[in-house]
Structures are given as structure tokens and as C-alpha cells.
A = this chain, B = another copy of it.
Amino acid sequence: MSERIFPTAQDAENAFYEALERGDLDGMMAVWAEDEDVICVHPGGERLAGQDQIRESWTRIFASGPQGRVQVANQVAISGMMLAVHSVHENFTLPGAKPGDAIPVPILATNVYLRTAAGWKMIVHHASPVPGQAAPQPTAPESGPKILH
């Protein structure tokens, strides 16, 4: 596995969505903490716990081909010394989509990052579909991260 170091939670989040777009399993798993307590909830899915279950789920997702573009919007970030929580909307554009095609429903994600000895890593990704909305979201203005001391 690649041993990428993410100096900030935002760096880890950027790498998460880049790996998701590319269907890059090693890149995806490099974002996750090597810890039994990591948790992933895909939209409409059950809780997956631990690296093995999470790797298996992304393997299955990436086997279906490119995931398209993901525009991350409306981030609310709350940052502590050791933990950071980001709430974001994920707006997907499917590969090959043309103007006038149905727009996939946006996904709402809560992402939690932990500062480890090897930089910031993802420990929770909880995603759920937003009902009856078309991307992009007009709500909730962007705001900078809130730093806790």
C-alpha cells in the first residue's frame, strides 16, 4: 500500500475524492487509518467496520468502472487537534453524461479524520442520499474550517 502522508485533514479529503473519481483502490485505502475502528457507510448501506470490509466494498464499487466526476460542495468543517469533522455534499456527474440527462441525486457525507503518527487519516465516512434535490445545492454557504484549541 502506498504510504502517503496527509499533513491536513483537507489533504486527506482531497485524496479520498481523487481516489473515488479515479477508481483507485490503493489510493483510496491509503486515506483510511489502519485501525479496526474505521467505519464506512455507503449511501443506503449497512455499517462497514474495519479495513477489510471497507476495502472489499470499494473493490466492488470500483469494479463497476469509473465513478465519474465528484464535485464536493457546501463543506462545513470542525477541526480539533486530533480529530476533524467535515460535512459535505457530493455532486456526481456520471461518465458519458450529456446535457439533459438525469442528474444523480446528491450525496450528503460526514467525514471524520484522525491525526495519526502517519498524518491525517479518514476514520469515518457516512454517506446518505439527499431526497428530491438536484445538484448543486443552493443551501449553506461555504465557510472556512473552525479551529478548536
Question: A-side interface residues toward B, CB under 8 Å?
Answer: 37, 39, 41, 43-47, 49, 74, 76, 78, 80-85, 87, 89, 108, 110, 112, 114, 123-124, 126, 128-131, 133, 139-140, 143, 146, 148
Contacts and interface: CB of A to CB of B under 8 A. Distances in A.
- Interface of chain A: mostly helix, strand, loop or mixed: strand
A6 to B, nearest CB: 17
A133 B146 CA distance: 37
Contact of A49 (B41, B112, B128, B140): B140
28 contacts: A37-B76, A37-B78, A37-B143, A37-B146, A39-B76, A39-B110, A41-B108, A41-B110, A41-B128, A43-B128, A44-B131, A45-B131, A46-B133, A47-B74, A47-B89, A47-B108, A47-B130, A47-B140, A49-B76, A49-B140, A81-B82, A82-B148, A83-B148, A85-B112, A108-B126, A110-B112, A110-B126, A126-B126
